[in-house]
A = this chain, B = another copy of it.
Amino acid sequence: MTTPRDPRAARLAHLAALVADGTRAVCLLALLDGRAWTAGELARYAGVAPSTLTGHLDRLVTGGLLAEERQGRHRYVRLAGPRAAQLVEELAAWSGPADLPRRGGLRAATADSAMARARTCYDHLAGRLGIALTDALADRGLLLRETGFALTGAGLEWFAANGIALDPGGRRPLARACLDWTERRPHLAGAAGAALCRHALETGWCARIGSERAVRVTAAGERALRDLLGVPPDALR
């Protein structure tokens, strides 16, 4: 990576270089689940020696993509924030919207199908569930989708009426599109997407399956989504 005169280009190249290594890319994609991983977990997952991973994490943290937290003898890392997550998503969406990796075996296949049905994508909901929610919000005039991606006035009221706090403080956009790599259609992300996901997990509309990214919609969740948004239960299966 030759460093040019132009400092702007140098910073751009430096940032891209953080992602431009296979091992680091594996880590970043894993961290897209929004949780904090320990260095050891990531090393095993990526298939490299712990000492190798230390160096990678140093670079990613220094570069601002990851945030770290030391607890005793553990080093926890997670994506630095929604913007970092968005950056990784965006690059991942460009680089291969196609084929989700078939890892072979029945167990893998069921895991994949659960992921395709409903999962978290950093801090919001994705998979068929994410699409169904986005469709429902758009159909009811709560979300503009064809001409961009924004909550309408009615949408703001709907969130307020249902007690889903929208955290107006942040500089982060309330609604933005996130391109799903199984469905290949945009679904709701941004502060509103995150609030909806948080609410769904807190009130028990959804529950995490094991410690994975996949979630399942509970019976209560099916009822709530049907009553509040008119989501047909079929759309969630």
Tell me the A residues contacting B by CB distance below 8 Å: 1-26, 28-29, 46-47, 83, 87-88, 90-92, 94-96, 100-101, 144-152, 155-156, 173-177, 190, 192
Contacts and interface: CB of A to CB of B under 8 A. Distances in A.
Which of A2, A16, A19, A28 is most buried by chain B, counting CB atoms within 10 A of its CB? A16
Q: Chain A: interface secondary structure?
A: helix
A157 to B, nearest CB: 12
A87 B92 contact: no
Contact of A13 (B7, B19, B87): B19
Q: Which 3 A-B pairs have the closest CB atoms?
A: A148-B150, A148-B175, A16-B19
A233 to B, nearest CB: 28
Copy tally for this chain in the complex stands at: 2
A5 to B, nearest CB: 7
A203 to B, nearest CB: 23
Contacts of A155: 147
Contacts of A87: 90-91, 94
A4 B148 contact: no
Contacts of A91: 12, 15-16, 87
Contact of A3 (B15, B22, B101): B22
